[in-house]
Every structure is written in structure tokens, then in C-alpha cells.
Amino acid sequence: MLDQGRINKRNDVLATALLWCAGLVILLILVCFLGYMLVQGLPVLLRPGFLLGMPSDIRAGGGIGPQLFNSFYILFLSLLISVPIAIGAGIYLSEYAKNNRLTDIVRLSTESLATVPSIVLGLFGMIVFVSYFEFGFSIIGGALALSLLNIPVLVRVTEETLRTIPRSYREASLALGATKWQTIWRVVLPQALPGISTGVTLTAGRALGETAILIFTAGTSVSRTFPDFDLFAAGETLAVHLWYVNGIGMVPDKTQIANGIGALLILVILVFNLAIGLPIRYYQQKMLKGAK
């Protein structure tokens, strides 16, 4: 028994060491990647006129102002479309839908849609929004196509988050005389808000870096007016501009522009996550204190 105990302890130490090594390797890769991008890109971000200047096709020193604006504008419109639809669908699947074959088909369809390559959604958006509805390569076309990418992920996140809320919460609310919708709105959703917000944050970060969908729907050019709130204006984003400059751009400083955009995307996603994550953590701590 003693020898077996020593063997188990040795195996436990070995497994712990291997897991720590795996974690440190991943952390090292992340630090090296972020460090390289920021070291290369931050001097470009500090260049006068880069963040808010107009882009140039052939001359060095152009900016990324319209692309920066389009990135947030399209992201906001896509979330405005997809979040209400996805949360509503998640609530229905979790709280109202019965466990039958139809519901299983809906869930399978949602999961299948979430695995569709983004370039396929981009081609679909080009056929439907750009050609059929004649939106052209526009901001609204890009936002609608990007919503197709967001909705299935948000539906699954919402449903799974709602299912983690203990059933006793619902039963206690109903026992006090609340209706089912009042229970969902005042009890279930507030408890699920941190998980849903995390899903929205991850989806938004993914959408900010999306290229394939927006190349086929929002285009690779920008309006000469900045900022341009016209929904039918050309809607090149930061990620698309990064691809365009590196791929077929003719500007002499395209490498510096690409490095600057890469660093900016990293910083934007980091700030975006902190801006949503910190209030969520504060809200969770407040809820825990209230429960005590």
C-alpha cells in the first residue's frame, strides 16, 4: 500500500508539472505574439494622422480613420440585429420549447449554422444582400451578413446559460405569484446576464476580426466622407483593410500600416473585453453580496 501511495503521489506531481508546462508554453506563445505585434505596431499608431486620417492608395503616410469608424459601425449594427433575435431564440428554446423532434432539429440546425465557414456566409450575403436586394457593397449589407455569423453562437450561449440557472429560482418566483414571463424577465435573465454578456463580448471580438464575410458584402473601399453614417456607403473595415494592404496594396509603407492595424485590433479587443468584463464582475460580486 505504501509503494502504491508513493506511485500515485509521483504520478500526481508529474501530471501537475506537465499541465503547468503546457500552460506556460501557451502563455509564452501568447506573450511573444502580442509583444511582437505591439512592438511593431505601436510606433505606427503614434504617427500623426494615422488613426483619424484618410487612407491613401499610392502614397505613404495614409491613415485608417474611415476603416476604424466602419469597424465599430458595422459591429454595432450587426449586434443590434443579432442580439435581440439570438436572446429571444435562446429564451424560447430554454424556457418554452418542448423536448421533441422539432426542437432537436432546431438545435441541430443552429449548431450546424455555427460551423459554416465564414466565406460561405460571405458568398450567401453577396448573393442575397448585394445582388438580390441590390444593396451593393455597403455597410448595411456587411452588418446583415455579419449577423448571420453572430446569431447561432449567441443562441447556443443564451440557451446554455439559461439552463445553468437553478430550477428552484423559477419555482420560488412562480410560488410568489409571478407569471412565467415575469419570472424570466426579473429572475432568470438577471442571473444569466454575466454569461450572456460574456458570449456577446466573445462574439463581438470575433466579428471585429472578420474579413471573408465583409470582403464579399461591405467591399474593399470607403466613403470619402468621414464619418459617413449612410447605410449604403462602402464599408471597408480594419481587418479587411489589413488584408487588402498586405495582399494587393500598392502603398510603399504597407508593412507599417499592416503592423499598425494589427496592434490596433489587439488593443481594441482588449479594451472592449475590459469595458464589458469589469462591469460584469462588479455585478456578480454585488449579486453575491446581496445573496449573503
Q: How confident is the model at residue 30 (pLDDT cuts 50, 70, 90)?
A: confident
What value does the mean pLDDT take over residues 126-149? 92
What mean pLDDT, rounded, does the chain reach? 86
Residue 271: predicted pLDDT: 84
Report whether pLDDT(284) > 70: no
Instruction: State the helix-helix crossing angle for 254-291 and 189-208, rounded to 10 degrees.
Output: 170
Residue 217: predicted pLDDT: 93
What value does the mean pLDDT take over residues 52-60? 83
DSSP assigned state of 91: H
Cis before 48? omega within 30? no
pLDDT in tens, 247-270: 777 888 888 888 899 899 888 888
Whether 272 and 201 have beta carbons less than 8 Å apart is answered as yes
Question: pLDDT > 90: what percent of the chain?
Answer: 30
Higher local confidence (pLDDT), 222 or 1:
222
Residue 289: predicted pLDDT: 63
Q: Could you give the angle at the alpha carbon of 128 between the alpha carbons of 123 and 133, nearest 5°?
A: 145
Residue 83 and residue 193: Cα distance in Å, rounded?
A: 13
pLDDT in tens, 72-107: 999 999 999 999 999 999 999 888 888 888 888 888
Question: What is the distance, to the nearest Å, from the Cα of residue 247 to the centroid of all Cα atoms in its chain?
Answer: 24
What value does the mean pLDDT take over residues 31-54? 87
Ordered domains of the chain (ranges, CATH): 65-291 (1.10.3720.10)
C-alpha cell read off for 247: 495582399
C-alpha cell read off for 12: 500526481
C-alpha cell read off for 63: 491613415
Residue with cell 443590434: 80
Residue 290 and residue 188: Cα distance in Å, rounded?
A: 16
Residue 288: predicted pLDDT: 59
Q: Could you give the angle at the alpha carbon of 153 between the alpha carbons of 152 and 155, nearest 5°?
A: 65
pLDDT in tens, 163-203: 988 888 888 888 888 888 999 988 898 888 888 888 888 88
Q: Could you give the angle at the alpha carbon of 122 between the alpha carbons of 120 and 124, nearest 5°?
A: 70
Residue 291: predicted pLDDT: 53
C-alpha cell read off for 1: 500500500
Report whether pLDDT(2) > 60: no
The answer to which of 14-18, 109-113, 159-163, 215-219 has the lowest mean pLDDT is 109-113
C-alpha cell read off for 190: 438577471
pLDDT in tens, 121-133: 999 999 999 999 9
Q: How confident is the model at residue 137 (pLDDT cuts 50, 70, 90)?
A: very high
C-alpha distances out from residue 7 to 1, 2, 4, 12, Å:
10, 9, 5, 9
The model's pTM: 0.86
DSSP assigned state of 50: T
C-alpha distances out from residue 29 to 23, 34, 38, 88, 106, Å:
10, 9, 14, 39, 39
Bridge partners, residue 235, by sequence: 222
Closest C-alpha among 262, 265, 269, 238 to residue 36: 262
Residue 56 and residue 36: Cα distance in Å, rounded?
A: 26
Residue with cell 449573503: 292
Report whether pLDDT(292) > 60: no
The answer to which of 15-24, 110-119, 248-257, 283-292 has the lowest mean pLDDT is 283-292
Report whether pLDDT(206) > 60: yes
Question: HSE on the CB side for 188, CA within 13 Å?
Answer: 29
Residue 8: predicted pLDDT: 78
Residue with cell 469589469: 278
3-state secondary structure of 120: helix
Residue 151: predicted pLDDT: 92
